[in-house]
A and B are shown apart, each in its own frame.
Chain A
């Protein structure tokens, strides 16, 4: 990488301010175009038929009656999506999930699709598709799926990562292990040991905008896809792989996005829409209903986690161990492994071991959800640490400070840490007024820490200077959290021009080089690095043009405050020239002026947060109100502090929902009972207090402005922070989230 990304301290004029977001007017006036807002001439309506069974062999599919419905232009089954995956199991899982091939693996699994001239014809056709199922035994519970008598979902899965390799297939797809030291010796040194099983339920990302796309396949092998996604370049690759298209001939444009949180890093219906369009010869619009979103797109894992922590009487942890079982849906993923890596990452431990098991169940294919897998592991560990502090008789923050990882600590997942922020967030919590505020009757306080890896990745930007000196910034990372505002601030800062002179757009896949997705908290981190690089390249050209005009060597020209200036006393009579003046002359000094950048933004650095939560529990109903909540997290440098705060608050809100109410509820028949926002309860504004935030700024040494990713870590501590607060309020350790009213009442009854 030729770009020097080393952090340099400097006075910044714009970075750190809070201007109005450039996409705000469109969004509040309804002009912003989301996934379902796009239309093409002659487009058809696409609808998907879904399995009503949790586990069933597809014996036969008869589409003749559906095809005969007036207005139906195509009926699709797995036979129209041939297997082009060439043995790649990950891609095959995506293909099979898009359209079931031999078996329906969960309630809601796509089994056929229709494209018709209108909604009524499409629905009528769906009803006429005849499918003969052989219903099979199913299993939806993560612990039940690991038992020897559980129905096996996939006879070709033998647990990987165990020696010797098992002789029989099972629902445990993989085992992973992390840690160091000798945990048995560590537990032998302990005066106090906390050991408990913790459970978390499956939750959905709960984005407001359902999945939506418009697909158009042409007869010449080219295709277009307009889609709501977190990563249009990745969707392009996935769809091209599944449909056998040349990657560059599929042009994908990302719409505005009404939330993703990891759930829009994965294709669900888009390949089906393209295949329908290819078969029908017309564009196809496919919009999921909320019920389809719940039943058939990316929830997170349900988990069952055993934690054992030993400590001396003074609070020093001597050993820590966790066994983590994560449901994966029907296809193997890395979810328990991520939990095993992150569970003890906040602590400096001599003896630690974590073991993860990926468990297949008849539920939807798990997708990433904001710091995927870390919140559940943190719930288990931070609950146990809280209980340990109580047993030792120490303040919960002080015990964590005593055991916190710091520079030089060997992390539980392997590497030795460089400078990290867990200590500063805990110290900020210790002195925060929230921690010493009085509590009332039926109220309790909890706190918890959280960790997440941040990523960088492949990034490409174009910065084009127009004839009037205003600037278009084309980026390839979808704006899910206000990144166009942050990136405009960065471009304006570098060029020394007003924020209002920058127009940031998300370019489509045909007009910009490849970009990784907006995931791993990388959007602003990586694209700001590429934007700084592009702006510096543009400034170099601007200086060259000024040098040409002045007829002096370019080495004698420098850029400052939006102007090219000649250096040294011999040019004392040369007045600085502005970006506008240089841009106006561009046609006669060498043509258009632009800056480009292609880079990989590695070095994102890990991220930590500490949260404090107060709750009040109604002992008669078991209902919990969060009455005060504080988030403390390191941002490296907050480019646009309002959006950093928004990320902190959003993650906390989602975590509070997960902790208190959200839960996939399955019936004995393996069908999802609550696929809608009435019965699947996410917190709304009136459920939450104003979430207080404290931004710490410890510069990231691997970013020119010190920026760190901030999007994900804030969802990691809330499950434990809320459960600890509830446990303290009711006097019973709550080890199963959500701590919904029935669970709290049951705990109170048991106690009585």
Chain B
């Protein structure tokens, strides 16, 4: 079970929950299940989301495994210069 924390902007799209427990072993599975549970998250997940797993920020590699007990946060995809 993954306990995922949402950034503030996503909370209203997920029944005002800041953290959500999801059964998932990869980022892809996590995002798919979040979308199924909260369809309002579908649009932001498509192109605005990065996922931090144990402090490492993933912007593209949705195949990344989520270890047991990992700290997982949904963050906004950031701009760089």
Contact = CB atoms under 8 A, between A and B. Distances in A.
Which of A341, A414, A458, A711 is most buried by chain B, counting CB atoms within 10 A of its CB?
Answer: A414
A600 B71 contact: no
Contacts of B12: 163
Interface string A365-390: 00011111000000000000000000
Contact of B57 (A265, A333, A415, A600): A415
A176 B9 CA distance: 7
Given A372-B80, A453-B78, A519-B80, A600 B60 contact: yes
B56 A603 contact: yes
Nearest to A520: B80
Contacts of B8: 161, 176-178
Nearest to B61: A602
B63 to A, nearest CB: 6
Given A1-B61, A603-B56, A455 B78 contact: yes
Interface in B38-79: 52, 54-61, 63-64, 71, 73, 75-76, 78-79
Interface in A580-632: 600, 602-605
B71 A416 contact: yes
B2 to A, nearest CB: 14
Contacts of A522: 80
A416 B59 contact: no
A338 B56 contact: no
A645 interface: no
Nearest to B71: A416
Given A161-B8, A456-B60, A414 B79 contact: no
A328 interface: no
Nearest to A702: B56
Given A1-B63, A414-B75, A602-B64, A262 B80 contact: yes
A631 to B, nearest CB: 17
Which of A333, A337, A417 is most buried by chain B, counting CB atoms within 10 A of its CB?
Answer: A337
Interface residues of B, number: 24
Nearest to B52: A415
Interface in A445-475: 453-458
Contacts of B64: 602
A458 B71 contact: no
Interface in B8-56: 8-9, 12, 52, 54-56
Contacts of B9: 160-161, 176
Contacts of B75: 413-415
B81 A265 contact: yes
Contacts of A649: none
Given A334-B76, A338-B79, A369-B81, A415 B55 contact: yes
Counting contact residues on chain A (CB < 8 A from B), the size range is 35 or more
Interface in A148-181: 160-161, 163, 176-178
B54 A418 contact: yes
Contacts of B79: 265, 333-334, 338, 368, 372, 519-520
B59 A602 contact: yes
Interface in A529-546: none
A265 B57 CA distance: 21
- Chain A interface, >50% SS class: loop
B78 A334 contact: yes
A300 to B, nearest CB: 9
Nearest to A263: B81
A326 B7 CA distance: 20
Contacts of A602: 56-61, 64
Contacts of A712: 80-81
B61 A600 contact: yes
B13 to A, nearest CB: 12
Contacts of B54: 415-416, 418
A178 B7 CA distance: 8
Contacts of B57: 415, 453, 455, 602, 604
Which of A416, A454, A712 is most buried by chain B, counting CB atoms within 10 A of its CB?
Answer: A416
Contact of B56 (A333, A334, A418): A418
A453 B56 CA distance: 10
A198 interface: no
Contact of B5 (A163, A337, A414): A414
A711 B81 CA distance: 9
A334 B57 CA distance: 18
A457 B77 CA distance: 11
Contacts of B5: 414
A734 B1 CA distance: 51
A519 B79 CA distance: 8
A359 B76 CA distance: 19
Given A370-B81, A521-B80, A712-B80, A416 B56 contact: no
B8 to A, nearest CB: 5
B56 A368 contact: no
Contacts of B59: 455-457, 600, 602
A261 interface: yes
B81 A415 contact: no
A351 B81 CA distance: 30
A21 B17 CA distance: 53
Which of B9, B55, B56, B63 is most buried by chain A, counting CB atoms within 10 A of its CB?
Answer: B55
Contacts of B55: 411, 415-418
A72 B10 CA distance: 51
Contacts of A262: 80-81
Nearest to B9: A161
A177 B58 CA distance: 21
Contacts of A416: 54-55, 71
Given A414-B73, A453-B78, A605 B60 contact: no
B74 to A, nearest CB: 9
Contacts of A521: 80
Given A600-B59, A605-B56, A712-B80, 15 more contacts: A160-B9, A176-B8, A205-B81, A261-B81, A334-B78, A372-B81, A415-B54, A416-B55, A417-B55, A453-B80, A455-B59, A455-B78, A457-B60, A519-B79, A602-B64
21 contacts: A178-B8, A333-B79, A334-B76, A338-B78, A414-B5, A414-B7, A415-B52, A415-B54, A415-B71, A417-B55, A453-B80, A455-B59, A455-B78, A455-B80, A456-B60, A457-B59, A521-B80, A600-B61, A604-B57, A711-B81, A712-B80
User: When A and B form their complex, which 5 residue pairs have the shortest distance between CB atoms, in order from nearest?
Assistant: A520-B80, A262-B81, A600-B60, A519-B80, A368-B81
